[in-house]
Amino acid sequence: MLSQTVIAQLRQAVADDGVLTSPTDLIAYSFDGTFEQSLPDAVVLPRDTEEVAAVVRVAAQHRVPIVPRGMASGLAGGAIPTAGGIVLALTRMNRILELDRENMTVTVEAGVVTADLQKEVEKVGLFYPPDPSSIKQSTIGGNIACNAGGPRCLKYGVTGDYVLGLTVVLADGQVLKTGNKAIKNVTGLNLTQLFVGSEGVLGIITEATLRLIARPSFANTALAHFPTLEDAARAINAILAQGLVPATLELLDETAIECIEEAMHLGLPRDVEALLLIEADGNDAQAVGREIDTIAEIGRDSGAVRVEVARTEEERNKLWKARRSVSPSLARRAPNKLGEDITVPRSAIPEAIRRIREISRRHGLPIVIFGHAGDGNLHPNILFDRRERAQWEKVELMAKEIFQVALELGGTLSGEHGIGILKLPYMREALGPLSLEVQWRIKEALDPHHILNPGKVLPGK
């Protein structure tokens, strides 16, 4: 509970309609994309960096927790105010400040919705590649704070690869500027990348300068059907070993195929263990066509029983429909899903999937696996009914076992969703004591009173 003094100071820090304290508003800001929930004491909606800094100064003075929030699509519980305090929602800070066509950069406020940014830059023939599936429901600030990825990241890299500079409000309310439009910059420690993926525990990102590239004009897509996971893995390695880097190399396992067919009746095969959706893109139509043909050939040589190649935009959309339908299709199977985000070395993908299937069989709950196979980033989704207490208990155990598989195979807990609160219990095993100690030292140097998103990312000492 915040005192009237703190509320009054917050109302001074931002415009009067920027402080919400009614029970309904607090409930609306108590969730993210997970099952977790915790009420804040106040929600503050700043309009610019100066207002963010003023709010942080109030929080620092009274040692009140402050939790930055974009669109709350996070899948790790990072934006949930587990210690109460202030939720600082950046959604009113959604301006595109400067689109510099000559230098191919864009400077934006942190609350810009990623899809809006992409639309704006594409109007002038430029391209911002990172494409999380939540592109319409997430902000650039949230993407930077989680270092979001997506299907295109195999070829183009993740969010962090496009961040040139940031404006960050520190825990004492000072405003730090890092980087600028210069592409090469090794002046001092790389503070820009320190804040990338920091999930709100080191500072509040208020503005970002992002690198853009020229928009590729052509794309060709193929869908390859593999009788076994090993065949699919062999194809992935063979494609990359030939020096081909498709924009997308997405995998759907047989349970994912089953769920999509049940919901959408797209005519997907029911007798294969894996589908790979592969897309090549570029600015030379013939070269892109040749690339997809070579990829299709490699797929067949690696054991694909069928490779569909889209030659028109309509055919391309049809192939993509399978991948885009995964998440909505799962809802027909079970009311709830827990989506994980492990990564493993690419060669370990078949082993990882087989072990995850064994976990599913042993506990009697379905696990659907899809993901960015070219990056070794798998999304095992456990399907269940949360109203059944016994099922929920199993889910927690299954998630733990999935993380164990990732670590045993030389992988890690998260490829793009981050740690938040959900993966905290596994951090010690994933990183070891020294890495955690170094991370705590950084946290304490920047936020000595632990007011910034407390209880996230770093397990207690």
Ligand X SMILES: Cc1cc2nc3c(=O)[nH]c(=O)nc-3n(C[C@H](O)[C@H](O)[C@H](O)COP(=O)(O)OP(=O)(O)OC[C@H]3O[C@@H](n4cnc5c(N)ncnc54)[C@H](O)[C@@H]3O)c2cc1C
- Contact residues for ligand X (CB under 6 A)? 32-33, 67-75, 78-79, 90, 110, 132-134, 138-139, 141-143, 145-146, 148-150, 199-200, 204-205, 327, 416-417, 420, 453, 456
> What six digits make up the tokens of 87?
């939720």
Rounded to the nearest whole angstrom, what is the least distance from the CB of residue 52 to ligand X in the complex? 9
The dihedrals phi and psi of 387, each to the nearest 5 degrees, come to: -70, -20
Other CB atoms within a 10 A radius of the CB of residue 369 amount to: 26
> Which alpha helices (H) appear in 132-220, and where do they start and end?
140-146, 153-156, 191-195
Distance CA 329, CA 260 (A): 5
Residue 327 or 439 with smaller CB distance to ligand X? 327
| 103 versus 439: smaller Cβ distance to ligand X | 439
Nearer Cβ to ligand X (149/350): 149
Query: Least distance in Å: CB of 28 to ligand X?
Result: 13
Look at residue 460 and give its three-state secondary structure: coil
CB of 166 to ligand X, least distance (A): 9
CA–CA dist 214, 129 (Å, integer): 10
Residue 49 CB, nearest approach to ligand X (Å): 11
Using the minimum distance from each CB to ligand X, give the nearer residue, 70 or 84.
70
User: Least distance (Å) from ligand X to the CB of residue 33?
Assistant: 4
| Cα–Cα distance measured from residue 404 to residue 356, given in angstroms and rounded to the nearest whole number | 10
Identify whether the C-beta of residue 88 lies closer than 8 Å to the C-beta of residue 20: no
Closer residue to ligand X, CB minimum distance, 70 or 216: 70
C-beta closer to ligand X: residue 138 or 221: 138
E-assigned strand segments in 227-273? 248-253
235 touches 302 (CB < 8 A): yes
What is the chain's percent helix, strand, coil content, to nearest 5? 40, 25, 35
Looking at beta carbons only, is 302 or 377 nearer to ligand X? 377
Nearest-approach distance from CB 114 to ligand X, in angstroms: 8
Q: Which is nearer to ligand X, 234 or 417 (CB)?
A: 417
| HEC-encoded secondary structure of 283-340 | CCHHHHHHHHHHHHHHHHHCCCCEEEEECCHHHHHHHHHHHHCHHHHHHHHCCEEEEC
CB 30, min distance to ligand X, A: 12
**Vertex 417: Cα angle to 210 and 110 (nearest 5):** 35
User: CA torsion angle for 384, 387, 393, 394 (degrees, to 10)?
Assistant: -20
CB of 444 to ligand X, least distance (A): 18
How many Cβ atoms from other residues are within 10 Å of residue 19's Cβ?
Answer: 21
